[in-house]
A and B are shown apart, each in its own frame.
Chain A
């Protein structure tokens, strides 16, 4: 059983408005993040719904938004 964590907005159901930080796996040695819009769709680093390749975001990913998602792993959810 994993030790991952997640947080969601009060009143949200299912995966809507949720962020989930997952433990390292062989494919994601630093762990990965999945975050969802209010319809429960996983989002890519730019905040758009995307396919599974673009919405499994490695925690060491460096994208257009400074600090995202690297610093999110330092926040206790």
Chain B
């Protein structure tokens, strides 16, 4: 009798836990669907060609986000140009050259810590170092330099993964044929790791697009088209923040948020595609 009730209790608790996992997963998905649909439904109606291509001069009735798109693209461009080569070279050092020891442990510790530092601290640092000390002022360049340090851990880690997944056989084969280490890396290892490196690139672009706090304190918030990278510019995220915080226009805010969500969704889609190809390549080899 008591054994039976024990078994019944067990069945009950099993069922309860099982439904709890379904329930929590449902919440996770429901939250995502709710946020996305709410933003897109409210925003998509305000997006049209002129919203995307006109400048932002509210006094003249112009409320386009063209300057913000340009600023965002400029920040992405400069950040990628600075951080990608450094990140790839770091990963090459860590995977292909380094021997386990204090130096590698220090580098690993540094990248992990950098990944954990909140963006507002990057903003503070960027402000005091790039904006004030190096006198770059509020500019695209200050923002991009700050973001470069911020995305560096992402680039390094993803590139490392890509390099590690290249089978040692390839390296040995190339070395056995008389190729030098550098030639092996540049002609054999790197080409195999290209999809992984591309994924790293897309991930970091996603972070740059979404970043607000660090950019706000370093690139400033002038809603004009920056004439050079030495000028201040307002990225899409900062624009959305300003619109929402100051309560300027919720219609524009919805529309800007929709543009951001669409950009991120596209980037995610491309990243999954590239990563998918990547696994095919490495298992095919």
Query: Do A and B actually bind?
Result: no
B residues contacting A by CB (< 8 A) are none
